[in-house]
Amino acid sequence: MATEHSRSSARIMIAPAVFVLLVWMLVPLCMTLYFSFADYRPMRATFDAWIGFDNYVSFLTSSSFLSSLGTTLLMVGGILIITITGGIGLALLLDQPMFGQGIVRILVIAPFFVMPTVSALVWKNMFFNVDNGLFSYLFKFFGAQPYDFLSQSPLLSIVVIVAWQWLPFATLILLTAVQSLSSEQLEAAEMDGAPPIARFWYMILPHLSRAITVVILIQTIFLLSIFAEIFVTTNGAFGTRTLTYLVYQRVLESQNIGLGSAGGIVAVILANIVAIFLMRIVGKNLDN
């Protein structure tokens, strides 16, 4: 029943949101694009507006880029594996009949609401610390040598911290999907004598596949820009420098704006590849 009049007032109502987002996206991004073709190092008062693709070539061929890409993949991949498998298990568990289900849910979800700097520092000091951390006491209790997590396995330590934060997210979404599974079908399969593993593999997992895809895509987008956890634990040292962190260091620590901007554009392109898949799924859902 939209009239011509309501159409135009609708446009006016949408305009402010579109305008601010357009400015927010275009202005800084164009500036980054512009800097990425420049030799711009404010500390040395160097500014050469056009050096072609030199920044891109030196960023993409530097060993720090390749190792940061590897670190990013390991970190994101590790976190995804832990949160997805853990999330499926927890979602199935929370779906079982039990006493105090609401409270267990609250306990499981809690880590998602802890701010990144708090969770990173709590884990770093009170769990991973080699002298006073709880894990050290635990190791000593079982007669083992205390293990210095953050300097021996820094990447794994950060994966654990971030996976702890994101496990609730995966659990919550997969639980929503599990609960929409028809229990009649499952019961029918059970009566027909399908063992639990077969029921999981042939009924539950296919039903969850879309939710799993969504969790993977959304988490990947957020995980590609992990920052605070690295900032307060290792500051990018010991092989924990992700692509995001490398760009941050190039831009703000070594003040090589041109090189860092080229890295920023590379990060934008990589994130967009993931985003396209997510947008397709979201778009399909909008239609029905």
Partner 1 sequence: MARAITPRKKIMWTALSWGIGLLIFFPILWTFLTSFKSEATAISDPPVWFLFDWTTENYTTVLERSNYPLALMNSIVIAVGSTILGIIIAVPAAWAMAFVPGKRTKDVLLWMLSTKMLPAVGVLYPLVLIAKYFGIMDSRILLVMILMLINLPIIVWMLYTYFREIPGEILEAARMDGASLKNEIIYVLTPMAVPGIASTILLNIILAWNEAFWTIILTTVNAAPLTKFIASFSAPEGLFYAKLSAASIMAIAPILIMGWFSQKQLVRGLTFGAVK
Residues 115-174 that bind partner 1 (CB under 8 A): 115-119, 121-127, 131-132, 134, 137, 141, 164, 167-169, 172-173
Q: Which of 60, 74, 114, 194 binds partner 1 (CB under 8 A)?
A: 114
For residue 153, the minimal CB distance to partner 1 (Å) is 18
Residues 23-52 that bind partner 1 (CB under 8 A): 24-25, 27-29, 31-32, 35
Question: Which region, judged by CB under 8 A, interacts with partner 1, from 49-57, 65-73, 198-206, 277-285?
Answer: 277-285
Piece of the chain touching partner 1 by CB under 8 A; list 59-67, 68-76, 108-116, 194-202? 108-116
Output the smallest distance, CB 144 to partner 1, in A.
15
Among 46-54, 61-69, 75-83, 276-284, which window interacts with partner 1 (CB under 8 A)?
276-284
Minimum CB distance to partner 1 smaller for 57 or for 252: 252
- List, as one string, the DSSP characters of the chain: ---HHHHHHHHHHHHHHHHHHHHHHHHHHHHHHHHHTSEEEGGGTEEES--TTHHHHHHHHSHHHHHHHHHHHHHHHHHHHHHHHHHHHHHHHHTS--TTHHHHHHHHHGGGGS-HHHHHHHIIIIIS-TTT-HHHHHHHHTTPPP--HHHHSHHHHHHHHHHHHHHHHHHHHHHHHHHTS-HHHHHHHHHTT--HHHHIIIIIHHHHHHHHHHHHHHHHHHHTT--HHHHHHTTT-TT---HHHHHHIIIIIS--HHHHHHHHHHHHHHHHHHHHHHHHHHHHHHH-
Query: Helices 63-94 & 205-223, crossing angle to 10 degrees?
Result: 140
Question: Minimum CB separation from partner 1 for residue 211, in Å?
Answer: 5
The count of chain residues that interact with partner 1, using the rule CB under 8 A, is: 109
Q: How far is the CB of 272 from partner 1 (least distance, A)?
A: 7
Q: Where in 48-107 is the site for partner 1 (CB under 8 A)?
A: 90, 93-94, 96-101, 103-107
Residue 265 sits in the site that holds partner 1 (CB under 8 A): yes
By CB under 8 A, what part of segment 192-251 binds partner 1?
A: 210-211, 214, 218, 221, 224-225, 227-228, 231-233, 244, 247-248, 251
Choose which of 16, 143, 193, 206 interacts with partner 1 (CB under 8 A): 16
Residue 16 beta carbon to partner 1: minimum distance, rounded to whole angstroms: 5
Torsion angle, CA of 48/51/52/54, rounded to 10 degrees? -130
The nearest distance, CB 155 to partner 1, in angstroms, is: 18
* Residue 34 C-beta: closest distance to partner 1, Å: 9
Kindly provide the b/e burial profile for residues 73-92, where b requires at least 16 CB atoms within 10 angstroms of the residue's own CB: ebbbebbbebbbebbbebbe
